């Protein structure tokens, strides 16, 4: 192997351009590769940048155009319906006559549908009940003809010991209060 510059025996090659060089014309890099005027990145660096750019572009396109999978379920469009807050078995639908409003009840339905907690149960309609003096969940349940558990399930987070006059609770619309 001869030196690229002088023709003398060359024991090594330039690390950047891979030309054969003698010790007089470089130690690791040849004279031309050490010259600042010719200092350019190696072809390996160019190939690496191009490959990295292509991989990033393909990955970016995949992220933008990936098909929607089963992990992202689509929700049906919301339709205006009466409020739904809890569920009862489908075998006991008996909507009674609408109760007349009293001083402690308000027949206004709650806003917005709330989905049924399990697919085998049908949703029930609810309305608001305004807490009056001396009311507690068991007394309200007795007045309305429902169970205390139904009142508590329709009003998650209700603290029976901290109920206030004028507070609104959800009760089944077919209740008699």
pLDDT of 154 above 80: yes
Domain ranges within the chain, ordered by starting residue = 1-46, 84-88+101-172
Nearest to 29 by CA among 9, 2, 4: 4
Compute the distance between CA of residue 4 and CA of residue 19 in angstroms, rounded to an integer.
6
- Three-state DSSP state, 124: strand
Q: Which fold has domain 84-88+101-172?
A: Membrane-bound Lytic Murein Transglycosylase D; Chain A (3.10.350)
For residue 21, the cross-strand partners are 12
159 to 57, 129, 136, 154, 169: CA distances (angstroms): 56, 16, 10, 13, 11
Least confident among 59-73, 93-107, 134-148: 93-107
**Do residues 149 and 158 lie in contact, with contact meaning Cβ atoms separated by under 8 Å?**
no
**3-7, 18-22, 114-118: the lowest-pLDDT one:** 114-118
């Amino acid at each position: 192997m001869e030196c690229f510059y002088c023709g003398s025996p060359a024991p090594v090659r330039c690390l950047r351009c891979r030309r054969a060089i003698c010790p007089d014309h470089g130690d690791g890099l040849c004279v031309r590769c050490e010259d600042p005027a010719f200092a350019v990145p190696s072809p390996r660096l160019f190939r690496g940048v191009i490959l990295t750019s292509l991989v990033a572009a393909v990955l970016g396109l995949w992220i933008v155009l990936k098909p929607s999978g089963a992990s992202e379920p689509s929700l049906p469009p919301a339709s205006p319906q009466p409020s739904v807050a809890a569920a009862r078995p489908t075998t006991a639908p008996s909507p009674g006559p609408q109760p007349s409003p009293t001083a402690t009840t308000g027949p206004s339905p709650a806003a917005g549908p709330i989905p049924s907690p399990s697919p085998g149960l049908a949703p029930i309609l609810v309305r608001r009940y305004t807490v009056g003096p001396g009311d507690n969940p068991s007394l309200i349940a007795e007045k309305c003809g429902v169970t205390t558990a139904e009142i508590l399930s329709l009003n998650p987070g209700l603290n029976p010991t901290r109920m206030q006059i004028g507070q609104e609770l959800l009760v089944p619309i077919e209740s008699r209060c």
